[in-house]
Amino acid sequence: MRHSIKTGFSFGSTSGVITTLGLMVGLHSGTHGMRGTVLGGILIIAIADAFSDAVGIHIAEESENTHTTKEIWEATIATFIFKFLTALTFAVPVLLYTSLNTAILVALGWGLLLITLLSFKMARDQKTKPFHVIAEHIIVVLMVVTITHYIGDWVYSICK
């Protein structure tokens, strides 16, 4: 896989998992189960944050002053596509399950699976032990989910 596509894939997919899960969990605890709010948040993340991340990668790749214009745009477009598609996958459990609590748990499982697979592939490519890479990345995801849950609870407590 070319560097530019690999950059967009790894960044966009990882960001798609972490930001979408954080948003879902925070909105769920902050609204106490307003399904439309969580679904709307996912769609907004899929669009707004995908564009934001793509522009961020674009500027980061330009600032390195080592990539061709074509490579920069490939990374930009790949980041947008992978972030957008990854974020959208989290809408599926919200649409399929009548219980938002169940949908959140399914989404959390899905996100942890994606991070595990991405981390495993990366560790293998770098010829390192997968366990350490996977554990490090899972810990970050769980930290984000925990923090956003408590922030959602806090916001709910001051706004109810």
Cβ atoms of 23 and 45 within 8 Å: the answer is yes
Averaged pLDDT of the chain: 95
125: number of CA atoms within 13 Å, CB side?
10
Indicate whether this model's pTM tops 0.95. Answer: no
Output the pLDDT for position 62: 95
Tell whether the model's pLDDT for residue 1 goes beyond 80.
Answer: no
User: Which alpha helices (H) appear in 34-129, and where do they start and end?
Assistant: 35-44, 50-64, 69-89, 91-96, 100-125
Residue 12 contacts residue 79 (beta carbons within 8 Å) = yes
Q: How far is CA 54 from the centre of its chain?
A: 13
Closest CA to 81 of 137, 10, 24: 10
pLDDT of 109 higher than 90: yes
DSSP label of 14? H
The pLDDT tens digits of the residues spanning 18-71 come to: 999 999 999 999 998 799 999 999 999 999 999 999 999 999 999 999 999 999
